[in-house]
């Protein structure tokens, strides 16, 4: 038996049992180590934490390494009642090429330098490719770096997907980090006429959310629990959006073979948009977000609903005129650039 045959036999014999928690970082190490602290407090299910860094300029990965060694402490969310995890933590650090080649180390914390700002899907896909090289990978959980997970969040996701084999992507009940009794999103719906999206239960008291919605069109990207079966059948996220609409594209591609779900007992507390930039860049990030959101909407419509392009363009033109009326000149210029296929200078060169 040669080495390839031995690896294939070992892979087929292994029982997928671990969840690979993929966290994308870009210039936001403080949020990331707080997220990691919550991940290493998860109870009930085995997991591996995978941090993918999109070429941060703030030394993020070195700070994460210091956290793993116990040299720097993470912030403590007041609504999470759990002790800090013991340090030091064993970790492995790889380049993108090394990670995607499938290294043999079984460290509980894996750090991957992607080598460039690949966007949300591109960076997460590096982590998922690494996870898919592991014979013990049963699920992948994409968790935003500016999120904190409840200790039972993972076990609730695993239980739901275990009881409903057709579910390919499952989301959490995502609440506001700064208002932990208020829901941020619990699944999303798509208006096919204009290719706009709406987060369900956004702003609702958490006490009002007692059951899964009757229908969702996508699982919001702050918390996406994905089965190995979906990854093997549908593949990874499309990388042509850079930011926004990747999860909606993914849901659209999977709906003929898999169901979508959200789990009411899986709680995640989310700040919002940290993977796009550091807290010191909030003004620029607003412009970048605006551009990629509008651009993603148009790309999605062209790909999946070309018959709706007329109403999509009409809706975007109405938004442009409304921004002019409100004297929102920056937002108006960005909308105009998207409509005519140009990149506004304020966005810079990063992205597709």
Q: What is the pLDDT of residues 271-320, one digit of tens each?
A: 975 444 433 343 344 778 889 999 999 999 999 999 999 999 999 999 89
Q: How far apart are the first and last CA of the chain?
A: 45
Q: What is the pLDDT of residues 76-114, one digit of tens each?
A: 888 888 778 899 999 999 999 999 999 988 999 999 999
C-alpha span between 150 and 266 (Å, rounded): 7
H/E element holding 62? Answer: helix 60-69
CATH of residue 16: 3.90.550.60
Question: CA 91 → CA 87, 100, 202, 270, distances in Å?
Answer: 11, 17, 37, 25
pLDDT reported for residue 184: 97
Q: Are residues 55 and 79 in the same domain?
A: yes
Single out the residue in 238, 271, 304 at which a domain terminates: 271
Single out the residue in 271, 301, 330 at which a domain terminates: 271
H/E element holding 94? Answer: strand 91-95
CA 15: distance to chain centroid? Answer: 26
Q: Is the pLDDT of residue 63 over 60?
A: yes
If you average pLDDT over residues 145-150, what whole number do you get? 97
Global model pTM greater than 0.85: yes
Q: Please report the sign of the dihedral spanned by the C-alpha atoms of residue 326, residue 330, residue 274, residue 226.
A: positive
Q: Are residues 202 and 312 in the same domain?
A: no
**Ramachandran quadrant class, 55 (left: phi over 0; alpha: psi -120 to 50; beta: rest):** left
Angle at 60 between CA 57 and CA 63, to 5 degrees: 140
Domain that holds residue 235: 11-271
Q: Please report the sign of the dihedral spanned by the C-alpha atoms of residue 218, residue 196, residue 285, residue 344.
A: positive
Percentage with pLDDT > 70 across the chain: 90
Q: Are residues 163 and 243 in the same domain?
A: yes
pLDDT reported for residue 88: 97
């Amino acid at each position: 038996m040669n080495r390839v045959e031995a690896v294939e036999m070992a892979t087929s014999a292994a029982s997928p049992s671990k969840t690979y928690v993929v966290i994308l970082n870009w210039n936001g190490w403080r949020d990331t180590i707080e997220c990691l602290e919550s991940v290493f407090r998860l109870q009930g299910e085995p997991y591996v934490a995978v941090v993918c860094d999109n070429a941060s300029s703030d030394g993020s990965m070195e700070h994460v390494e210091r956290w793993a060694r116990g040299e720097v402490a993470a912030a403590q969310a007041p609504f999470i009642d759990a002790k800090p995890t013991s340090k030091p933590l064993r970790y492995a650090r790889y380049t993108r090429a090394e990670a995607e080649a499938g290294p043999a180390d079984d460290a509980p914390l894996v750090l991957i330098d992607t080598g460039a700002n690949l966007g949300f899907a591109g960076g997460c896909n590096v982590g998922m490719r690494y996870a898919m090289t592991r014979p013990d990978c049963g699920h992948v959980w994409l968790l935003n770096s500016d999120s904190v997970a409840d200790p039972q969040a993972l076990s609730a996701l695993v239980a739901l997907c275990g009881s409903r084999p057709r579910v390919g992507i499952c989301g959490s009940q995502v609440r506001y980090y700064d208002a932990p009794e208020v829901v941020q999103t619990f699944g999303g719906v798509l208006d096919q006429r204009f290719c706009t999206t709406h987060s369900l239960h956004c702003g609702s008291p958490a006490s009002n959310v007692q059951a899964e919605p009757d229908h969702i069109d996508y699982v919001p990207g702050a918390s996406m629990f994905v089965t190995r079966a979906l990854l093997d059948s549908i593949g990874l996220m499309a990388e042509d959006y850079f930011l926004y609409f990747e999860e909606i594209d993914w849901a659209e591609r999977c709906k003929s073979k898999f169901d979508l779900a959200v789990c009411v007992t899986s709680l995640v507390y989310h700040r919002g948009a940290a993977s796009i930039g550091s807290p010191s860049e909030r003004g620029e990030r607003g412009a970048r977000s605006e551009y990629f959101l509008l651009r993603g909407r148009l790309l999605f419509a062209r790909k999946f609903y070309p018959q709706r392009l007329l109403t999509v363009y009409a809706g975007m033109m109405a938004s442009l005129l409304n921004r002019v009326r409100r004297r929102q000149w920056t937002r108006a210029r960005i909308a105009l650039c998207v409509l005519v296929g140009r990149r506004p200078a304020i966005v810079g060169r990063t992205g597709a």
